[in-house]
Amino acid sequence: MPNENPGVLVVGGSTVGLCTALFLSRAGIPCTVVERHHASPAHPRAMGIGPRTVEILRAAGLADAVDAQCVDMTGSGLQMFAAPTLADADLDEEARRTPPRDDAYAGLTPQSLRGTCPQGRLDRVLIEAAREAGARIEFGTELRDFTQDEEGVTARVADDRGAREIRARYLVAADGARSGVRDRLGIGTSGPGVIGDPLISVLFRADLSALTRGHTFVVCDITTPEAPGGLLPVDGDTEWIYHFRYPRASGTKAADFTPERCAERIRAALGRDTGVTPEVVSILPWQVRGLIADRFRSGRVFLAGDAAHAIPPVGAFGMNTGVADAHNLAWKLAQVLHGTAHEALLDTYEAERLPVARSALEQSTLRLKDPSLHWATGPEGRARRAAAGALNAPVVHLGYRYASAAVLGAEAEPPSTEDVARNLDGAPGSRLPHRWLPGEEGVRSTLDLVDGRFTLLTGPTGTSWLDALDKAASFLGGVPADGHRIDDGAWTAEAGIRDSGALLVRPDGFVAWRAESLDPAPEACLERVLSALLARP
């Protein structure tokens, strides 16, 4: 039973586990992923990639590759609409009477995707990138047991060749809503639990071009009593998902939905007279769940993604919250494993991500009861959300703030529940404000300047900060840090730093500390700040 010694062992090889491995490997941390399934599943479990996830993918150089895997919805404008069957839907008229949706992220984020992206396609991009970065990804390998001590975690895994041990400094559990790691640790959960009736998701192939007539959409809500459900494009052409509920009280079981029965139901949903014969590829029973782990850390083991929080699908907050978990945790593990931060920095993972996950769960649950809270726009939408205690979706995705020991002077409550731009104001704990900047390397976003390092941004008269950063980082043992002067008065005013102030941004793109003007002793100031942020004595 040979031993292996990665810095981090990741349990679970879906999106969140793969992102964790990618970010760690890019930071120079040896990482192994074990996944009990023999391949990445072809049946999509999520479709929507949120703006913060796009930013994270951009930082890893993958946004364009993922965009190429998306359904092209740039010319459609159709989001969610309802019709008795797809054949009954007048998509031309639907497109004419659907007002153009305001781009809530215009000017706030450097990149967007052209449409939805099936999770399996996203994962294939992540697998290739993580392996190229140096991660070891083992499908068909199951975690059997693990123990931890003061120095690390010993995991016993097994594959077709037999059992072996892996010795890692830390373990990240990204093994899903029914996490075996969470159960072994004895970590409880809270939340609504199982919500509503069970569902069936059917992946099928069919040429629906005669029915869609060149239109793409996010979801068509089929209302015919014969086959109510939701129709979603996988490739926008010949691959589709049809999902529907079945009453638990009826005595029907998931096994009763054979491929033949599912195909018959899909024909009814498309329209009986269409002549379309769907080819059922796979059938996935599933259940909406809402839960959050009581703790995200136990010693040297961390929970991420669905293992930490299972979030209902309305709003696309689940997978995206998990990707942000991975991004948050990876830079902290890297700093600790490289010896530039004290182990206490890892306590800030739970302190930051658990409140964000709790908010995402609350917001998705509200939308599950009333989906219009998500889709409604204008004054009516704002009024409905205010009455229900709901946040506008851009605020959920981008407008949250961190409050922990890894943020100095944090303002935990963002100023707006509707206008995400007001929340991205340079305040400590918020995501760095985006602005396009010209330069010798071409036009870049302020977010692009943060390349996995602490980054100091200052105004046109704050160059003393930059010299001080080099000295402070060197004094502290070579903390990876970089600095940039920004000669854009509008941006520095927006970020709250004036011409001589500074923002210190963490490797994950969140503002760690802000100085409105130049400190009389900038080098000593930055030494104190970096020491505090890295939990160094």
Please say whether the beta carbons of 231 and 216 come within 8 A.
no
* DSSP characters over 230-244: EEEESSSSSEEEEEE
Confidence (pLDDT) at 1: 47
Cα dihedral: 199, 289, 44, 25 (round 10): -170
Q: For residue 409, what pLDDT is reported?
A: 94
3-state secondary structure of 306: helix
Tokens found for residue 481: 């840090």
Contact 423, 415 (CB under 8 A): yes
Q: Which CATH number fits domain 71-112+196-287: 3.40.50.720, 3.40.50.300, 1.10.10.10, 3.30.9.10?
A: 3.30.9.10
H-state helical runs in 87-179: 91-97, 119-133
Residue 253 CB neighbour total at 10 angstroms: 11
Pairing state between β 142-148 and 162-168: unpaired
**Confidence (pLDDT) at 41:** 86
Give CATH for domain 436-533: 3.40.30.120
What pLDDT was estimated at residue 247?
87
**Tell me, what DSSP letter sits at residue 136?**
E
Q: Which residues, other chains included, contact 346 with Cβ-Cβ below 8 Å and sequence gap of 6+?
A: 297, 302, 332, 333, 336
The contacts of residue 447 (CB under 8 Å, 6+ apart) are 55, 58, 59, 109, 110, 432, 434, 509
Other beta carbons within 10 Å of 37:
13
Alpha carbons 15 and 271: distance in angstroms, whole number: 35
Domain spans, the chain = 3-68+116-186+292-364, 71-112+196-287, 436-533
Q: Compute mean pLDDT per 10 residues along the chain, 537 residues long, and list them.
A: 80 98 97 96 90 97 96 80 94 76 79 92 97 97 98 96 96 97 98 94 96 90 96 92 90 92 96 92 95 98 98 93 98 97 98 98 95 88 95 96 96 89 96 91 92 95 95 92 94 92 98 96 97 95
Name 530's Cβ contacts closer than 8 Å, sequence gap at least 6. Answer: 454, 472, 473, 476, 479, 481, 504, 536
Superfamily assignment of 3-68+116-186+292-364 in CATH?
A: FAD/NAD(P)-binding domain (3.50.50.60)
CA–CA separation, 362 vs 384, rounded Å? 16
DSSP per-residue string spanning 477-512: T---EEEEE---HHHHHHTT-TTT-EEEE-TTSBEE
Give the pLDDT confidence score for residue 74 in this predicted structure.
83
At 16 the pLDDT is 98
Q: Which amino acid is at 325?
A: D
CB neighbour list of residue 111: distance below 8 Å, 6 or more residues apart: 54, 55, 58, 63
